[in-house]
């Protein structure tokens, strides 16, 4: 699936539309997230696969020329700017390629921060 296409249906249907080479990189990212939050729901939200636990947690997707990891929070990535410097970023998105994936430890940090944010929001 490329940017601009409508995403409907299940996460599996979304991934089936992604070219095989990119799908493998997204599946690897998905596996890291799933290992951290096995009780999270995985749905299509905002047109991309999204993990939900206490609200939207993180998401991922394929676009023209890159893959994306969505932190679903504008504050998270700013705190990790140095570690994210090898990647393209915008307010809540890290852009990467299958040749240059986001390191597992960094994905785990982002997911951990997002879990803490969601938990704090629910306590408030």
SS3 49: strand
Select from 36, 56, 40 the least CA-distant residue to 48: 56
Instruction: From residue 68, give the alpha-carbon distance in Å to each of 41, 91, 102, 123.
Output: 19, 12, 10, 30
Whether residue 5 has pLDDT greater than 50 = no
What is the structure's pLDDT at 79? 86
In the numeric block, which tokens belong to residue 62? 């394929």
Tell me the pLDDT tens digit for each residue of 16-48: 999 999 999 999 999 999 999 999 999 999 899
Whether residue 6 has pLDDT greater than 50 = no
What is the structure's pLDDT at 8? 56
In the numeric block, which tokens belong to residue 7? 């995403």
Tell me the pLDDT tens digit for each residue of 61-106: 999 999 999 999 888 898 899 999 999 999 899 999 999 999 999 9
In order of their start, the domains of the chain are 11-123 (3.90.1150.200)
In the numeric block, which tokens belong to residue 88? 């393209």
């Amino acid at each position: 699936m490329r940017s601009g296409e409508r995403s409907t249906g299940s996460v599996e249907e979304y991934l089936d539309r992604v070219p095989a080479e990119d799908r493998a990189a997204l599946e690897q990212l998905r596996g890291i997230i799933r290992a951290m939050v096995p009780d999270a729901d995985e749905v299509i939200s905002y047109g991309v696969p999204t993990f939900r636990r206490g609200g939207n947690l993180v998401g991922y997707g394929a676009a023209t020329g890159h893959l994306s990891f969505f932190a679903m929070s504008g504050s998270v990535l700013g705190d990790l700017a140095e570690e994210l410097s090898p990647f393209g970023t915008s307010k809540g998105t890290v852009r990467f390629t299958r040749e240059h994936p986001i390191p597992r430890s960094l994905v785990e940090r982002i997911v951990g921060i997002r879990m803490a944010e969601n938990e704090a929001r629910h306590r408030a």
